Structure 1
């Protein structure tokens, strides 16, 4: 029997129309109901690790817009947090970590405790799956992690922002040391993703937001190869769970990444021409994206024309409508409803 969940159909290689839609950061600061829950939680890590609150903010956009997927509300830095790296989120500054700069700091990271430390996040996944089976039975649940290179950027630099020179310098100056960090992150990521699947996630996504910072040899070593190993292990452990990769800002290298890593879906960032991607990416791999988040802020013609260009480009092949990066906080909620109306009118 064919799976009724439209996202899973696309990721199995089916071209369905209109394509399924969900949006990166669809649960977040642009929604007034999210801001109410965030205020109640106090700090961001508390929100991510409170199953009742995290489940609530994950479900909020489904109630408003009827997306084809929910994505677990969490953060890519919960893996280093779970391994013991000190982490806090400062208002106006974003994540702040105690930098990992040497072999001793890497040796102190423990992938073995990730499942136990992240147990509240897995409870969130279980709550979501139960609620969605009851209230949104045709909506898929996406679990996720940051890819090793992107997470390593934050871990070595100690914060977000800029182009992560400390992490890139470590990769150049001491590739053996950087490889140890990547290996630890691979192990932790597999543990973390497997636990999400056991709790009820049906799709997994790997965010490599900073993959485009690397030269070609670094991209192969620190993005493609680790992702390939993670996907192979997840395929062995959870063969029926598709994986979406998002190698942001990698341009013409994206189609090769999609094939070599073994993923079932690949995200297009805002800069990518979807007409080119629809031809360049292997036809069995779903392409996901890629409306400019600021076109969503603008609304009106910018939103409508941008969405229709993407829809025209991907028609006839497996595809998932999304943004080219996450929703920004200043997005009017009514513009998301406007986008959903444009996409559904194509059906």
Structure 2
């Protein structure tokens, strides 16, 4: 008679951030910071100076993996966010992408009329990102949740139309009103590529993904429903079919009073809240037990002292009865003192 298999004494690894994304409430809450891999860190600035341009860094998988891991080594955040950029999607759809020093990204040709017929898809342009994911996944501490991401269709399309960041996203909004069929075709192309891209990140090793909709706040309620909620819901539905069980965080910056509709109608597993939203209001109006992420003002983190301590206390008190991931309301700023990040972690983990 064969002997019984030995029972392992190893306990399963506890991943606090992943547990919260699955609906558990943790005290203290897990923490990561948007743009935590970036310019406020001297080790990032040194690597960037050595590697050259931003896009060169994104496409250098070994360097991008190192950037992703730097804040984990320094601070021990509960989540690592992939170092990449939201504009790799239009690049994979056939637009040329470059980053001008001091002026930000440029896409060419600008799709001011929404016509994409001249573009040819180049999905292999995403391969360096998948390689980065694999390298990071192999090196992350087992308790750290690895977050992939993509830009949401509305925000990505605003760059595709204007060819760059733009004030009030006027060119994309005009196109969406004036030729909704052409704009809708662009949104559809972004949705399809984004689902493939996020599924590729998941296959390569990320544990969860976040959709960044940085310019969601520029739309009227009806346009928000059409160009933010509906495409995001399609991504969530299709990704859930392809990658069941992988949590999806939605972050519609500037959505304000439209947040509850976004949370209900997109089907995201967690929602990011920016710094302009009262956390007490958010807790009252968002679906019960939906995990919430946020929402410290990045400038409060720069200020430090009592401004930081009181803001942290208010956020934690507001979300004390629901699953909560502590984060900023937007990305960490380059002039953020490292000692303030260390203090934030010390009071969260006290």
Q: Gaps spanning 5+ residues in structure 1: where?
A: none
- Partners in 2 of 1:173 and 1:246 — Cα distance? 27
TM-score under structure 2 length normalisation:
0.95
Name the SS for the 1:164 alignment partner: helix
SS at the partner of 1:165? helix
Q: Please state if 1:52 is matched with 2:62.
A: yes
String of CA shifts for 1:73-95, please: whole Å, max 9, x gaps.
00101111122211111111111
Provide the residue aligned with 2:3 in structure 1.
Answer: none
Rounded Cα–Cα distance in structure 1 between residues aligned with 2:95 and 2:152: 17
Q: Which residue of 2 aligns with 1:125?
A: 133
8 Å contact 1:148–1:223 — kept in the other structure? yes
Shift of 1:298: 0.8
- Matched with 2:21 is 11
Distance 1:239 1:284, change over 3 A: farther
Task: List per-residue Cα deviations over 1:181-225 (Å, max 9, x = no partner).
Answer: 000000010111010000001100000010110001100000000
Q: Is the 8 A contact 2:114 2:161 kept in 1?
A: no
Instruction: Tell me the SS of whatever aligns to 1:15.
Output: coil
Question: Out of 68, 73, 83, which is 1:63 matched to?
Answer: 73
- Structure-2 residue corresponding to 1:211: 216
Q: Does the 8 A contact of 1:27 with 1:58 survive in 2?
A: yes
CA distance in 1, matches of 2:120, 2:72: 35
Instruction: Note the aligned Cα RMSD (angstroms).
Output: 1.2
Distance 1:230 1:117, change over 3 A: same
Specify whether residues 2 and 276 from structure 1 end up closer, same or farther in structure 2 by C-alpha distance, changes over 3 A only. farther
Corresponding residue of 1:235? 240
The CA distance in 1 between the partners of 2:273 and 2:149, in whole Å, is 17
Aligned partners of 1:275 and 1:202: how far apart in 2? 29
Q: 1:342 aligns with which of 342, 347, 350?
A: 347
Q: Deviations over 1:314-345 (max 9, x none)?
A: 11211100000000111011111111011111
Q: Secondary structure at the match of 1:107?
A: coil
Aligned to 1:224: 229
3-state SS in 2 of match to 1:321: strand
> 1:3, 1:9 within 8 Å by CA — same for their partners in 2?
no
Does the CA contact (< 8 Å) of 1:202 and 1:241 recur in 2?
yes
Measure the CA separation in 2 of the matches of 1:220 and 1:275.
24
Is 1:284 the counterpart of 2:289 in the alignment? yes
2:235 match: secondary structure: helix
Contact preservation (8 Å) 1:263, 1:285: no
Does structure 1 conserve the Cα–Cα contact (< 8 Å) formed by 2:211 and 2:251?
yes
For these two proteins, the number of residue pairs brought into alignment is: 339
Gapped runs of 5+ residues in structure 2? Answer: 1-10
SS of residue in 1 equivalent to 2:167: coil
Q: 1:312 aligns with which of 308, 312, 317?
A: 317
SS at match of 2:136: helix
Say whether residues 1:202 and 2:207 are aligned partners: yes
Structure showing greater radius of gyration is 2
State the match for 1:165 in structure 2. 170
Structure 1 length normalisation: TM-score? 0.95
Secondary structure of the residue that 2:168 maps to in structure 1? coil
How far, CA to CA, are the matches of 1:63 and 1:71 in structure 2? 13
* Conservation of the 8 A alpha-carbon contact between 1:18 and 1:344: yes
| 1:107 to 2:117 alignment | yes
